[in-house]
Chains A and B, each alone.
Chain A
Amino acid sequence: MSNSARLKLAGILAVLAVLCILPSIVRPYQLDVLIFLFINIILVVSYRMIAITGEFSLAHAVIMGVGAYTSALLPFSPWITLPLGGAAAAGIAYILSFPLFRMKGFYFLIGSFAAAEAIRLIWVQFNNPFGGFRGLRRIPALELDLGDFLYIDFGAPVPYYFFALVVGIVCLVIMYRIEHSRFGFVFHAVHHRDMLAQSVGVDARRYRTIAFVTASFFAGIAGAMVAHYITAINPGLFGLPRMLNVLVWVLVGGLGSFAGPVIGVTVLSIADESFRGFQELRPAIYGLTLIVTMLFLPDGLVSLPSKIMGWVNRLRNREASGVPKRE
């Protein structure tokens, strides 16, 4: 194992250790924030999987909602419906992929938006079974009941925190492995060298579909976890504002690397919490952050260290070589 890899591993372990003792330190509502943070991390990292194939979808939030609705409506134990929610989201995504992947670029963006909005309006329209505008309430919370031996009620924040942590880590590891497998390389290939990849026999559309469906599965899981935590969902939760939030997180963090979206969502969520005082100004801060990032840091927050290093180096070089300043 090389030195930098060992350092990385140590860093990850340290973060995990901190995350394990956090529940005993922070206040309950902050725990809430952390749980949503984990769920959102699953969401943004899965979104990146679509984005690395070169397409930006506006359907991800609604796909997440598909997971939430499925898991809430199925009459089985939440332990079974949670993965089923993911499967249903993947299924819907597979169906959607037929019309959507006939389009590219801008058309795909608008097409995915249309498809998503249609699904969302179906939830609004039909009171039975989707509960219409008000949505669904009294969704069962997760609980682990092994008779006298063990009983954990996952409706409470602290157990759910650890549950979300574990699910989040499992999902992240799987998605990381996928990206570093042969599939992941092909995803990158169909983005950057579409024609070349096709000329060596890669079916670009098939791989885009695979990425879309896989990412949707994880989005569905995230949605189901939201549903069983807050135990009430409505169509408004999965609307355009949520989708735009995901986009902001991913883009501010940076699409270039696996860590980018995670950093983006973490930084922005924590910043969001510190702005709790100016409740009504928060979206504007989001908007401003997005604009500033797009204009000055097109590769996202991940590129900030290297960029600063670049500036420092340039300054140093200029001083060293005595180049006159440009006036």
Chain B
Amino acid sequence: MNSLIASSFTATFAVGLVLIFGIMQVINFAHGELYMVGAFSTWFLYSENGVPFFVAIVLAILITAAIGFLMERALFRPMRGNQFGGLIVSIGMLFILQTLAVYLFGQGLMKNITPYFKTSWHVFGIESVTVAHSRLFVFAIAVIILGAFWLFLRRTRLGWAMRACAQNPEAAALQGISISKISILAMVISAAMAGAGGAVMAQLVRITPQMGHSVIVTALIVMIVGGVGSLEGALIASVVYSFFHTFITTYIGGEVATIWGLVLMLTVLVIKPTGIMGDRESV
């Protein structure tokens, strides 16, 4: 059950990363920091200022989406067509967001959010197997977001345009699709997804300015294993990887689990660089 929840969260996060790579050919290293910003905003609004929990989550998502918008306009647009440059400016952004968090909220303090849902659910009425409702909440939100995103991509004109951009930007531009607009939209969606992930995870994890680091490592592994630029691949890979990771963490230890994850990623890179779903480079 834990791994199911972890995988739903990882999927939300990794899909955002893959989306940006698909549309803009940029690896956003600051993606983990967007997640951190989401968690921090929720903590600040809900725990410190008494804003209602759901309002706080929505506000956190709006904040990260706004940051995503700014990043696209100020950083990724001038760097379009320069894969490495985009990566580098996102690293710069990583530094800035992390420092801002330290500066505004302080470094060492333990910031815990008192869980909004205090009860937990006994799986099928079995007393010993319990799942906290806050964890179920993460799962529900992640599934809703992913489902909504899926419908958006498949059923709306904008979603079609986005997939067209990912497949062939030039042809898409010839059909009258504005790549700049689609890039902004992709960046906003992906930032909002990272922010939402941070906002709902805020009550489960310790909130620190460095919390984005471990998440981005996971997301990179998932992205590579699943196939760069493939959303389906990212979904499958995040489920597989989360089961794998939870399993090893439970029986051996967290570091060993990550080491094996990285080794898995290297193996995939060497044997089939396009990943398990990579032959179709589509969003």
Which residues in A have some Cβ–Cβ distance to B below 8 Å?
A: 56, 99, 102-103, 105-107, 109-111, 113-115, 117-118, 121-122, 124-125, 240, 244, 247-248, 251, 280-284, 286-291, 294-295, 298
Max count, chain B CB within 10 A of own CB: residue among A115, A122, A283, A289: A283
Is B259 within 8 A of A122, CB to CB? Answer: yes
* CB within 8 Å for A284 and B95 given contacts A109-B87, A114-B269, A295-B78: yes
Indicate which residue in A99, A110, A294 contacts B85 across the interface (CB closer than 8 Å).
Answer: A294
* CB within 8 Å for A294 and B92 given contacts A109-B87, A122-B259: yes
Indicate which residue in B84, B220, B262, B270 contacts A56 across the interface (CB closer than 8 Å).
Answer: B84
Cβ of B240 < 8 Å from any Cβ of A? no
Max count, chain B CB within 10 A of own CB: residue among A115, A122, A251, A284: A284
Please give me the 3 A-B residue pairs with the lowest Cβ-Cβ distance, nearest first: A287-B95, A284-B99, A290-B92
Which residues in B have some Cβ–Cβ distance to A below 8 Å?
A: 27, 75, 78-79, 83-85, 87-89, 91-96, 98-100, 102-103, 107, 213, 217, 220-221, 224, 228, 253, 255-256, 258-259, 262-263, 265-266, 269-270, 273
Indicate which residue in A103, A122, A247 contacts B269 across the interface (CB closer than 8 Å).
Answer: A103
Q: How far is the CB of B182 from chain A (nearest CB, A)?
A: 21
CA distance A36 to B107 in the complex (A): 26
CA distance A119 to B102 in the complex (A): 28
Q: How far is the CB of B222 from chain A (nearest CB, A)?
A: 12
CA distance A124 to B265 in the complex (A): 20
Q: Which residue of A lies closest to B103 (CB)?
A: A280
Is A283 within 8 A of B99, CB to CB? Answer: yes
CA distance A287 to B224 in the complex (A): 26
Max count, chain B CB within 10 A of own CB: residue among A105, A240, A291: A291
The DSSP consensus for interface residues of chain A is helix
Q: Which residue of B lies closest to A286 (CB)?
A: B95
Is A288 within 8 A of B102, CB to CB? Answer: no
CA distance A124 to B100 in the complex (A): 28
Chain A positions within 8 Å of B269 at CB level: 99, 102-103, 107, 110-111, 114
Is B83 within 8 A of A294, CB to CB? Answer: no
The DSSP consensus for interface residues of chain B is helix
Is B78 within 8 A of A114, CB to CB? Answer: no
Q: Which residue of A lies closest to B100 (CB)?
A: A284
Is A281 within 8 A of B270, CB to CB? Answer: no
Is A114 within 8 A of B89, CB to CB? Answer: no
* CB within 8 Å for A118 and B95 given contacts A110-B224, A247-B88, A294-B79: no
Chain A positions within 8 Å of B258 at CB level: 117, 121
Q: How far is the CB of B279 from chain A (nearest CB, A)?
A: 16
Is A294 within 8 A of B89, CB to CB? Answer: yes
Is B266 within 8 A of A114, CB to CB? Answer: yes
Is A288 within 8 A of B96, CB to CB? Answer: yes
Q: How far is the CB of A125 from chain B (nearest CB, A)?
A: 4
Q: How far is the CB of B218 from chain A (nearest CB, A)?
A: 11
Indicate which residue in B88, B89, B224, B270 contacts A99 across the interface (CB closer than 8 Å).
Answer: B270
Indicate which residue in B89, B100, B103, B217 contacts A290 across the interface (CB closer than 8 Å).
Answer: B89
Chain A positions within 8 Å of B255 at CB level: 121, 124-125
CA distance A187 to B89 in the complex (A): 26
* CB within 8 Å for A283 and B262 given contacts A125-B253, A290-B89: no
Is B89 within 8 A of A283, CB to CB? Answer: no
Q: Which residue of B lies closest to A113 (CB)?
A: B220
Is B96 within 8 A of A280, CB to CB? Answer: no
Indicate which residue in A110, A121, A125, A244 contacts B91 across the interface (CB closer than 8 Å).
Answer: A244
Chain B positions within 8 Å of A284 at CB level: 95-96, 99-100, 103
Q: Which residue of A lies closest to B213 (CB)?
A: A240
Is A121 within 8 A of B100, CB to CB? Answer: no
